[in-house]
Structure 1
Amino acid sequence: MNSLFGFWSEWLPTLLNGLAISIEVTAASLLFGIPMGLLLALCRQSKLTPLRLLSIALIELGRGAPALIILQFVYFGLPNAGLSLSSFGSATVALAWNAGAYTSEIIRAGLEAVPHGQREAAAAIGLSRTDSLRYVILPQSLRISLPALLGFSIAVLQTSSLCFSIALPELVSQAYIVGSNTFQYMPILVLAALLYAAICLPATVAVSALERHLNRHSE
């Protein structure tokens, strides 16, 4: 047992560096992915058929294709079209697309959950369609969608583990490197799993508490 803890203490700084990169790529992906999801959700409800069809295509491709395939496509496929991105840039683009596709459905569900009477009330007081969306519909729908969006953010952090396949030195990639150098794969992967759990479990509890709080105040 002492040898295990000694092994972990020796390689913990390396894994923490990888965890920091995992968090950074997750944050960057969500920073672009959630606004993209909002835009796709609004476009999907548009009366303009070409815009609606384009948004549906982007959503279905982003949700239908595995995140690993999207990562491989962006990192290895785009250079053939003359666009080369770093591993961090590729991971951000791929995961942002995937996040945007999934969060668009979360946000769309939130938009549809707002009572129709709210739209009628906004029209009755003279608000335009844009102002109604901005001041009445979106604030309520995002409040409804918030717990699901935060829960999905945890899933994006876990999905970032796939970025080892494009040479991003994130947590899993660092664990594999240590395992290859020491031939101690099981201990180092257990430590990596514990680091993920140290973030994901408290975040899951916090999201559940927030959801209960919002539900209590909406009753």
Structure 2
Amino acid sequence: MSWLADWVGYLPQMMSGLSVSLMIAAISIAAGYPFGLVLSLMVQAKNLALRTIGLVIVEVGRGAPALVILYLFYYGLPKFGLVLDNIPAACLALSWNAAAYASEIIRAGMHSVSRGQHEASVALGLSRRDTLFRVIIPQGMRSAVPGLMGIAIQLFQGTSLAYAIAVPELMKSAYTIGSSNFNYLEIFILAGICYAVISMPATWITVFFEKRMGRQ
């Protein structure tokens, strides 16, 4: 019971850190998913230069650990005269990481659209552009929703890496409290519970969407 009493005292500072984690995740999703759509179109472009640029951005974003990308934005860009605060650096790094993974899921979603949809668009006289934006992308994005929701959950959990560049998110708050009283076990258990309270319902919603779309 003493742990419960301690947790009540820790909660205000933990909630402050959790709000920062949610903010970073929300910004990264809002910026990363549209960029991911652009990257998926670049990767499928007929222009070789455009396709190569898209592939490089995607493969680096997926291949490099998110922590390395965080360090590149926060510690690397100042070498070129661009200095970012820790929260903008975290948002940019995680947006790139989210965009790289989202682009592959969106591309797979667009590829899942049946060939008959393409043929019907040609029969109706739709241009290639109209077919892409009115037929392929809307249906492909619908198929990509469960995967994108899964990335969103991982991205929220990945905000804990921002602790490495002193962002005052949930893990930073937990470590600060733990350093003050050395009760690391109970404070990190509380941090895990805070992550689970957000992640578990989001996972259930993702499973619900997958089952619903499977039935349809």
Same fold at TM > 0.5: yes
- Matched with 1:174 is 173
Give the Cα–Cα distance (whole angstroms) in 2 for the partners of residues 157 and 42 of structure 1: 26
After the TM superposition, list the runs of 4 or more consecutive aligned residues in structure 1 that deviate by more than 3 angstroms. none
Post-superposition offset of 1:49: 0.1
Deviations 1:193-218 (A, max 9, x none): 0010011111101110111111111x
What amino acid is the match of 1:204?
T
Shift in Å at residue 3 of structure 1? 1.4
| RMSD over equivalenced CA pairs, Å | 0.6
- 1:116 shift after superposition: 1.4
User: In structure 1, how many angstroms separate the alpha carbons of the residues matched to 2:128 and 2:26?
Assistant: 32
Q: Which residue of 2 aligns with 1:210?
A: 209
Give the Cα–Cα distance (whole angstroms) in 1 for the partners of residues 17 and 77 of structure 2. Answer: 25
What letter is aligned with 1:158? Q
- Distance in 2 (CA, whole Å) between partners of 1:133 and 1:15 is 45
Distance 2:177 2:97 in 1: 29
- Structure 1 residue aligned with 2:128: 129
Aligned to 2:63: 64
Normalising by structure 2, we get a TM-score of 0.99
Structure 1 CA distance for aligned equivalents of residues 49 and 82 of structure 2: 27
Equivalent-residue separation in structure 2 for 1:49 and 1:120 (angstroms): 26
Pair 1:37-2:36 in alignment: yes
Structure-2 separation of matches of 1:124 and 1:40: 29
Report sequence identity in percent: 45
SS at match of 1:169: coil
TM-score scaled by length of structure 1: 0.97
Cα distance, 1:97 vs structure 2: 0.4
Q: Which residue of 1 aligns with 2:19?
A: 20
- Are 1:118 and 2:117 an aligned pair? yes
Q: Which residue of 2 aligns with 1:53?
A: 52
For 2:159, give the aligned amino acid. Answer: S
Question: Which residue identity is paired with 2:49?
Answer: P
1:188 deviation in Å?
0.4
C-alpha distance in 1 between matches for 2:122 and 2:91: 40
Give the Cα–Cα distance (whole angstroms) in 2 for the partners of residues 88 and 198 of structure 1. Answer: 23
Q: Cα offset for 1:86?
A: 1.1
Q: Does 1:144 align with 2:150?
A: no
Inter-partner Cα distance in structure 2 for 1:7 and 1:143: 45
Could you report, residue by residue, the CA deviation over 1:131-160 in whole angstroms, capped at 9, with x for unpaired residues?
111111011100100011011100000011
Q: CA deviation at 1:190?
A: 0.3
Deviations 1:39-78 (CA, angstroms, capped at 9, x unpaired) = 0000101000000000000000000000000001100110
Distance in 2 separating the partners of 1:215 and 1:139:
17
Q: Distance in 2 between matches of 1:149 and 1:94?
A: 18
Runs of 5+ consecutive residues of structure 2 not aligned to the other structure = none
For 1:143 and 1:3, locate their aligned partners in 2 and report how far apart those are by CA, in whole Å. Answer: 48
Mapped partners of 1:46, 1:176: distance in 2:
46
1:197 aligns with 2:196: yes
Aligned counterparts of 2:181 and 2:10: Cα–Cα separation in 1: 11
| In 1: Cα distance, 2:78 partner to 2:2 partner | 45
**Deviation at residue 20 of structure 1 after TM alignment:** 0.5
Unaligned segments of structure 1, at least 5 residues? none
Aligned match of 1:9: 8
Inter-partner Cα distance in structure 2 for 1:57 and 1:116: 28
For residues 7 and 89 of structure 2, what CA distance do their matches in structure 1 show?
31
